[in-house]
Structure 1
Amino acid sequence: MEQNLTVRPIAGRDELDLFNRIPYGINDELADDLDAGRRKPEWMWVALLGDRLLARAAWWAQSGDDAPFLLDILDIDDTADTADTADGRVDVGENLLRTALAQVVPDGATPPEYIRMIPSDWRDDPTTRRGVEDRMRVVERTGATLFVERLRFGWRPGAPVPDPTGRLVFRPVRDTEEILSLMTAVLDGTLDAHSRDDLTRMSARDAAVRHFEDELAHYRTPREWWRVATLPDGDPVGFVTPARNDYNPIIGYLAVLPRHRGNGYIDDILGEGTRVLHAQDVPRIRAATDLGNIPMANAFLRAGYVNFERSINMTWH
């Protein structure tokens, strides 16, 4: 099959229909992403047999950035008339990804993380599982390994809005230095895989700054929404950053300081973040945590959030 395979970036917005022939939940966001500069045609690659789309890959960036931040689309057409075997499908995907990586990622640089949204029950359906595992094999063949599986949660209007318990007092974050200090402190004993990985290569303060600059600094909503939770005497207990990113209202960061863990304060803090967003009449709230962060996952479930999806995160080293 690969003898006549054409691997190239799309020519421009006019080829979005071609790129979107393989269905995926974020296809309808790609036009806006191109307009906003979060994607570029040269970051959106296709593998074609004649005019038949066999595979595709695309990278995403924060608005205004010149370098891609994530590889978030990698798909293989696995219908019977385009590939005879699983190995054939994976071969096509590998050809596409290797060719695209050589052009998109500067020579010698580490490729951006690969993230794929998948159904929450993906292991239970043979067809879905095959698709997930085929994509993972493609990425593995180019040198990446599984980093973490994450749970994605959603809250919709009509779900419970927790009432304040009165145990904690909430106030806005005073300034950037305060949120950075709190983010630094909560890294002690963190269960978050990305944070734990950062701590193997940098100080807690540097890890907090990196997280802030990569994510929180890009939120489109007022920082007055962010909340510090304190005891009645003013002693900080934790914080939450309800916000809106480029796509959804979110619970961006939620944490309890080490000395206050084990007291159930996570429920109070998540409740406040949910109330802040609910007061903005949002159509939904999204949140996520690592599969292994059981206390955080259980807090979302108790607060009426539904685990509607998962993500697979893979990294190159």
Structure 2
Amino acid sequence: MDQNDLIMRPITGPEELDLFTRLPYVLDDELADDLADGRRRPEWLWVALRGDRLLARVAWWCQAGDDTPFLLDVLDIDDSDDGSDGGSDDGVDAGVALLRTAMAEVVPAGTRPPEYSRIVPPDWRDGEVTRRVVENRMAVLEHLGARLFVERLRFEWHPGAPVPEPAGCLAFRPVHDTGELLGLMTRVLDGTLDAHSRADLTRMSAREAAVRHYEDELAHYRSPREWWRVATLPDGEPAGFVTPARNDYNHVIGYLAVLPEHRGNGYIDEILAEGTRVLAAREVPRIRSATDLGNTPMANAFLRAGYVNTARTISMTWD
């Protein structure tokens, strides 16, 4: 592909979303609200054009009010010419050129590029087309030095699914304050199976990792903190916690954990059931959550609780 005939630029504003969404993706319906609410900026949404044909697009996301992008969550290419006939792969080539150009403008110099995340079908490896779509986008990132970090399972609960009654082994109370929650979050990092937490622990202390997780996610929830629950044993000793919540898009089971000394007793089911009851009582349209593919205990707990695996997420990072 001759890159000289490519026009690579950010969109001018919401009025160009029709151009940006010529290549479809599941997040397209959120883009307008994200722009209006400050979670995206026009200068973070880039397109690669050859004439009127959109060959590639990329977009970054942040928490409202932040000045720098937090996540690269849209990267699409025109898959109509994928090189399967032995010719050049214009889509991948255009994606590489666009991402390289856009990153130079969007990502602050000298900083690590934001993580890449893409929602994919739960069985994406089983079909030739779906597998090629995912692998083509991963190839773009790999050309620029990124590597696969983790694959995650996305779950949903819908009204009508059973909500387990309390089993009685644990009691539940609201979190006293931020300090208590941070203390519990610090403790559960011992032996964690979560890839992001494990990576954090190679760069910072458990307390610092807990604070970072809290500030990056939990502090931004729109819902009351009174929804959060600490699970306790009959003597009042904490055994775990759960943070049912509403983020910018959905009601979620944001964080669920069992303290290390109480793992292996089946408490994960009771704690998840409590978080589900908190949200189900408010007649929410759905509950979403996710866990790493390798976190088999958590994945199985979701399935036992009536959650359905609706998708996966591919995450890639730069070293």
The alignment's TM-score, normalised by the length of structure 1, stands at 0.98
- Structure 1's consecutive aligned runs of 4 or more residues displaced over 6 angstroms after TM superposition are 81-84
Q: What residue in structure 2 maps to residue 295 of structure 1?
A: 297
CA distance in 2 between counterparts of 1:102 and 1:163 reads: 53
CA distance in 2 between counterparts of 1:93 and 1:112 reads: 17
Decide whether aligned partners of structure 1 residues 252 and 316 sit closer, same or farther in structure 2, where only a CA change above 3 A counts: same
- How much does 1:64 deviate? 1.0
Structure 2 unmatched runs, 5+: none
CA distance in 1 between counterparts of 2:162 and 2:51 reads: 52
> 1:112-152 CA deviation, whole Å, 9 max, x = no partner?
00000000000001111001001001001111111000000
**3-state secondary structure, aligned to 2:39:** coil
Q: What residue in structure 2 maps to residue 119 of structure 1?
A: 121
CA distance in 2 between counterparts of 1:291 and 1:217 reads: 26
- How much does 1:89 deviate? 2.1
**3-state secondary structure, aligned to 1:45:** strand
Q: What residue in structure 2 maps to residue 234 of structure 1?
A: 236
For 1:15, give the aligned amino acid: E
- How much does 1:90 deviate? 1.3
- How much does 1:81 deviate? 9.8
**3-state secondary structure, aligned to 1:63:** coil
| Residue correspondence of structure 1 range 84-103 to structure 2 within 5 A | 85=87, 87-103=89-105
**3-state secondary structure, aligned to 1:263:** coil
CA distance in 1 between counterparts of 2:26 and 2:138 reads: 18
Aligned residues: 317
CA distance in 2 between counterparts of 1:58 and 1:40 reads: 9
Aligned counterpart for 2:148 among listed residues 146, 154, 157 = 146
Residues 86 and 134 in structure 1, CA contact (< 8 A), matched pair in contact too: no
- How much does 1:86 deviate? 6.2
Q: What residue in structure 1 maps to residue 64 of structure 2?
A: 63
Q: What residue in structure 2 maps to residue 75 of structure 1?
A: 76
Residues 54 and 77 in structure 1, CA contact (< 8 A), matched pair in contact too: yes
- How much does 1:80 deviate? 4.1
CA distance in 2 between counterparts of 1:81 and 1:259 reads: 51
- How much does 1:23 deviate? 1.0
CA distance in 2 between counterparts of 1:213 and 1:140 reads: 30
Q: What residue in structure 2 maps to residue 35 of structure 1?
A: 36
| Residue correspondence of structure 1 range 1-317 to structure 2 within 5 A | 1=1, 2-80=3-81, 85=87, 87-317=89-319
CA RMSD of aligned residues (A): 1.3
CA distance in 2 between counterparts of 1:192 and 1:86 reads: 39
Greater Cα shift, 7-16 or 87-96? 87-96
- How much does 1:82 deviate? 10
Residues 59 and 72 in structure 1, CA contact (< 8 A), matched pair in contact too: yes
- How much does 1:87 deviate? 3.3
The alignment's TM-score, normalised by the length of structure 2, stands at 0.97
CA distance in 2 between counterparts of 1:80 and 1:177 reads: 54
CA distance in 1 between counterparts of 2:8 and 2:270 reads: 51
CA distance in 2 between counterparts of 1:251 and 1:133 reads: 30
Residues 149 and 290 in structure 1, CA contact (< 8 A), matched pair in contact too: yes
